[in-house]
Structure 1
Amino acid sequence: MDRDNEELRSIASLLADECTQTILIETATEPMSAEELSEVCEVSPQTIYRRLDDLSEHDLIEEDLQPDADGHHYKVYTATLDRVVVDLTTDGFELSLSRRDRMADRFTQFVNEVRDR
């Protein structure tokens, strides 16, 4: 099995998981902590962290630090996955993923465009 097929199977398996789907849906609109995701998904924090590691491995989620009222920081997660398309071809299945740009990347792009005018 070649590397592309392995990645296709890995991502497809990941996306078939109900917990992973919930993580992606919940973090598509606002960042959430692992604790919040654990409550929403009704699974242990360990399960959430395993899914987050898998999602991060495929660049389907990003991690940021959020300050709290006590001056400490905690990690929050935001889905970067925007769209998944599976095509059946004569060679098998092809998976196309589109990802959202990170806010920092969009800001950098904006600054570069303004500067180049």
Structure 2
Amino acid sequence: MSASDDDPDLTRVLDALDDADCRAFLRALDEPMTANELSETCDVPLSTTYRKLEQLTEATLVAEETEIRPDGRHRSRYRAAFDAIELSFDDDRDLVVDLERPARGPSERLADIWSEVQRET
């Protein structure tokens, strides 16, 4: 499995995976969804949904993308940011996590760039 440039934090990943709501969101994210869609699909209050999405994003298990819409009313969508998770012990017998990341197409890379521009403005 291939590690990304930003190695995931083991504690954050394990904390997110230990949370039932976070696991429900990961199961639901076959395709990118808005926070409202996830809230409704998983029957989780919207305020809790935003907190859990932040937890998943910080654990690098979910990525936020900006959906660029012709009417100018862009919105955030969330997608699973991994294909597989591997836990193992390194040579020092320390537990490590490795996330296999999906291949990113041009539209996803453009959405990432747009999301980064929005964060900086």
Q: Which runs of 5 or more residues in structure 1 are unaligned?
A: 1-6, 109-117
Alpha-carbon distance in structure 2 between the residues aligned to 1:100 and 1:20:
19
CA distance in 2, matches of 1:84, 1:102: 18
Please state which structure has a larger fraction of its residues in strand.
1
Pairwise mapping of residues 1-117 of structure 1 onto structure 2 (< 5 A)? 7-27=9-29, 29-66=30-67, 71=71, 72-88=73-89, 91-104=93-106
TM-score when scaled to structure 2?
Answer: 0.67
* CA distance in structure 2 between the partners assigned to 1:107 and 1:11 by the alignment: 24
Q: Which runs of 4+ in 1 moved over 4 A?
A: 105-108
| CA positional deviation for 1:101 | 2.7
Please, which runs of 5 or more residues in structure 2 have no aligned partner? 1-8, 111-121
SS in structure 2 at match of 1:81: coil
Q: TM-score, normalised by structure 1?
A: 0.69
How many Å separate the matches in 1 of 2:109 and 2:88?
33
RMSD: 2.6
Determine if contact 2:12/2:58 at 8 Å carries over to the other structure.
no
Q: Percent identity?
A: 29
- The DSSP-based 3-state class of the residue aligned with 1:9 is helix
Residue number in structure 2 paired with 1:3: none
Alignment partner, residue 114 of structure 1: none
Go from structure 1 to structure 2 and tell me whether the alpha carbon gap of 1:14 and 1:106 turns closer, same or farther (over 3 Å shift): closer
d(CA) in 1 for partners of 2:48, 2:108: 32
Aligned residues: 100
In structure 2, relative to structure 1, the CA distance for the partners of 1:74 and 1:105 (3 Å cut) is closer
